[in-house]
Structure 1
């Protein structure tokens, strides 16, 4: 008779590979899976009979801005744990909380992670040490933001190309971070602090990650009219660096670009024959970021999430505020800033086409620190499983789970996670496949999802449907294994 700490019995097991579910049992001993199969002869200190439920690897959120949230109390992670997320990828879009310090509020979108009080980590080692001293409830994989490196190296003078000395400084700091456990470089070339960086600057900085087997993830320079050229630029940077490329939150933004995902996905397919390229996406036809006047268009409805000078504007449409003030929308955006907003700029057919692509991973891209967040912060993973897989049949449940588990684990080089097999880490989510659904809406964006019963990280219970977040802190920073 074999003994273990936990057995989950009579459950539909989705192993994360994309294979169909099989009925069986799973045993956990310590922080690892001890066995999977018919475990009738096993005895667990705790046993759960999960008839009618499904068990999957804990979901890996391939695109987050949780750098700061990892430093908070476990209850702050309810938005992720209540979705079944057990690992988050931070430092996306060129925005990472390290290595940088600021004596005043950083320029947007760096300030999406907070004001100067949070920018206290001048090295990746300092940030990772904090996570060791005060572990989060989830695991984390960390990217280093080109924008963070650039603003520091150029002392805020970013309306130009970096010179050789500044590029050398960026490379030096990135190399140190990679040695200290970061997994790659991210960029956000659409944003003002990085917009003037030429392709050659990115190629020079990204060359560092090639030596460490790191990734290059990118918020493209343009997701609208020049989306094709922007994907080509990303591919060129990745090829030059000998690094895997991940296209962040892939979309074709603006009514004049609806339907162009047919072209962009075809380009990605062709490129994949010659280099490693993947993408992530969230299951909504609206984006969210800083409220920037240059992003304002009359044909795109914009909802204000938060505003530092005008907090009363949260939840209101920009057009209404502008009309009330008797000014145009761009002027209103400037008056509201620093601020965040939701942009209803995407076509549902494009969203579905991108989600269904075999190279697409699921990433929430949620912004956890503003008022009235985009509902993707609380609803992304249940929405994929409930709305798109079960209700619409865009793909089957096993495929949906693979996009959230085995696929991102392989792309980000995370060993022994994203799969249910003997010896893998016990990052698990137990859910009801018939009831799982997102409940967060644009009007009520912080409603927890339905159907998630329990989550475990490294063998410890971190979320229970009856009691919520448990307060356990078993998470750790995960390195990349190429």
Structure 2
């Protein structure tokens, strides 16, 4: 802690904050000084002067939240204000998850499912990763951007059909593009092996593709091949790929999906912990019992509600339950889904107990998995992070506020190799959120999802005040930047090994 030094000057001085620094340690009351985008002093700064002085008495100051799992790939360029994320305190998004990324991509027609979640074909104009980085820097979004490279995106670049395994020549072409991306700061490789355009990729294809990752200190993130009955086999496949490539593994949106799978979270987490004894593994999770993606015939069931969020051939059915649409059309649910496709859906497929257990686990970080291009998005797009702080920490007391913040900041930054981020610490970038711990909560609902959260007082990105909570508006000052990967150290990335 820095003691008061007379006549020091800074750009922003936040006084009397209830400081939760992102490390998981107990809060302290302190002042924080920001100069040229970085935190320059923390402590009792009575003698300091500032261009902007904020009295934070009674409010929590924490690092800006890191959304570890997003599909904001094209939106950070097309809609750089990024208001759904900024308004909930997110200052960094990790894009390129689930095997789908905006770059490197050269489309031969319409984007294949589920790449259509990222936008229409016109949104994909980055044939190299370096061109994507340049576009981010030119757009200067309101939040920082770090990026994974999608396996399905690479497949679509090099294969004339995606319903088979890649040839050796096609894998070499994919590897060359992955290496170019790693050389320009990509975090690593992601897969979405549950999806129709990747499910026919054998494990050996991913093993070969992942081999360059270790040389660049990169990582492997995966939407498992199954989140249903075969989840343990799918986890074993992920761990095998990470071990072969000698890199950390992050399991995306870890869940026990499907009624027949409810109650298996203890078993699933035990498998994660067992793997963590031998390699570096972790997971992310969103704080809801419903998932959201494209409408998938394999997931059509009458054991839980499925809400259609959009449909290209039948846009008038958006917002309705699939069962209701099937009833109106006098067909079964599978036939109704087939007629609606391509379409999106929210699947109410998880139990509270499983979500609570996974969220609470020390290796879990928070990701929204929000879909910003859905006309009726899952409320996680606007509310995931305040929901963790308000509902899960304050109301359910699932974990302390300091632990909740660390899951959204310090732990995420270390796992993804984001240097000088994720902590309120001298010398670190001033990505900061000021919030009211007594009132913070998500306002977005499944019927009215585009609602900014309550309780966010202010957000700074790289030292720039970007959001004011008093009027729930962005300031218009966009200070985000592309964050190149720092070499991911095994001791930092392997939370489950601790």
* TM-score bracket relative to the smaller structure: over 0.9
Note if 1:306 corresponds to 2:303. no
SS in 2 for 1:16: coil
The normalised TM-score by structure 2 is 0.95
Is the 8 Å Cα contact of residues 375 and 440 (structure 1) preserved in structure 2?
yes
Residue 307 of structure 1, CA deviation: 1.0
Note if 1:435 corresponds to 2:462. no
Structure 2: runs of 5 or more not aligned: 1-6, 488-498
Moved more, 447-456 or 469-478: 469-478
Task: State the partner residue of 1:479.
Answer: 484
Note if 1:25 corresponds to 2:31. yes
The normalised TM-score by structure 1 is 0.98
Task: Identify which of 72, 78, 89 aligns with 1:72.
Answer: 78
Is the 8 Å Cα contact of residues 294 and 330 (structure 1) preserved in structure 2?
no
Residue 103 of structure 1, CA deviation: 4.6
SS in 2 for 1:475: coil
Mapped to 2, the partners of 1:311 and 1:147 lie a distance apart of 27
Task: State the partner residue of 2:462.
Answer: 458
Task: Identify which of 40, 44, 57 aligns with 1:38.
Answer: 44
Mapped to 1, the partners of 2:62 and 2:452 lie a distance apart of 19
CA deviation digits over 1:419-470, x for unaligned, max 9?
A: 0111100000000000000111111111111000110001101111134112
SS in 1 for 2:198: helix
Mapped to 1, the partners of 2:214 and 2:427 lie a distance apart of 30
Residue 72 of structure 1, CA deviation: 2.5
Task: Identify which of 10, 15, 22 aligns with 1:16.
Answer: 22
Is the 8 Å Cα contact of residues 467 and 475 (structure 2) preserved in structure 1?
yes
Task: State the partner residue of 1:384.
Answer: 388
Task: State the partner residue of 1:284.
Answer: 288
Structure 1 stretches of 4+ with a deviation exceeding 3 A read none
Moved more, 93-102 or 345-354: 93-102
Task: State the partner residue of 1:469.
Answer: 474
- 1:104-143 equivalent positions in 2, closer than 5 A: 104-143=109-148
Is the 8 Å Cα contact of residues 10 and 51 (structure 2) preserved in structure 1?
yes
Mapped to 1, the partners of 2:341 and 2:477 lie a distance apart of 37
Task: State the partner residue of 1:2.
Answer: 8
Is the 8 Å Cα contact of residues 104 and 115 (structure 1) preserved in structure 2?
no
Residue 160 of structure 1, CA deviation: 1.0
Note if 1:361 corresponds to 2:365. yes
CA deviation digits over 1:44-78, x for unaligned, max 9?
A: 11101111100000000000000011002443x11
Mapped to 2, the partners of 1:14 and 1:469 lie a distance apart of 24
Task: Identify which of 246, 256, 260 aligns with 1:256.
Answer: 260
Task: State the partner residue of 1:192.
Answer: 196
SS in 2 for 1:249: coil
Mapped to 2, the partners of 1:51 and 1:124 lie a distance apart of 44
Mapped to 1, the partners of 2:144 and 2:328 lie a distance apart of 46
Is the 8 Å Cα contact of residues 382 and 437 (structure 1) preserved in structure 2?
yes
Q: What is the number of equivalent residue pairs in this alignment?
A: 480
Mapped to 1, the partners of 2:22 and 2:111 lie a distance apart of 39
Task: State the partner residue of 2:349.
Answer: 345
Is the 8 Å Cα contact of residues 467 and 474 (structure 2) preserved in structure 1?
yes
SS in 1 for 2:254: coil
Task: State the partner residue of 1:326.
Answer: 330
Residue 132 of structure 1, CA deviation: 1.5
Task: State the partner residue of 1:242.
Answer: 246
Is the 8 Å Cα contact of residues 80 and 140 (structure 2) preserved in structure 1?
no
Mapped to 2, the partners of 1:68 and 1:106 lie a distance apart of 13
- 1:152-301 equivalent positions in 2, closer than 5 A: 152-155=157-160, 157-301=161-305
Residue 472 of structure 1, CA deviation: 1.6
SS in 2 for 1:377: helix
CA deviation digits over 1:279-310, x for unaligned, max 9?
A: 00000000000012122112121000111111
Is the 8 Å Cα contact of residues 107 and 156 (structure 2) preserved in structure 1?
no
Is the 8 Å Cα contact of residues 136 and 482 (structure 2) preserved in structure 1?
yes
CA deviation digits over 1:296-338, x for unaligned, max 9?
A: 1121210001111111111100000011111111111111111
Mapped to 2, the partners of 1:440 and 1:8 lie a distance apart of 29
Is the 8 Å Cα contact of residues 184 and 484 (structure 2) preserved in structure 1?
no
Mapped to 2, the partners of 1:45 and 1:107 lie a distance apart of 50
Is the 8 Å Cα contact of residues 302 and 317 (structure 1) preserved in structure 2?
yes
Is the 8 Å Cα contact of residues 74 and 471 (structure 1) preserved in structure 2?
no
Mapped to 1, the partners of 2:333 and 2:109 lie a distance apart of 27
Task: State the partner residue of 2:491.
Answer: none
Mapped to 2, the partners of 1:258 and 1:355 lie a distance apart of 15
Mapped to 1, the partners of 2:138 and 2:391 lie a distance apart of 39
Is the 8 Å Cα contact of residues 74 and 472 (structure 1) preserved in structure 2?
no
Task: State the partner residue of 2:496.
Answer: none
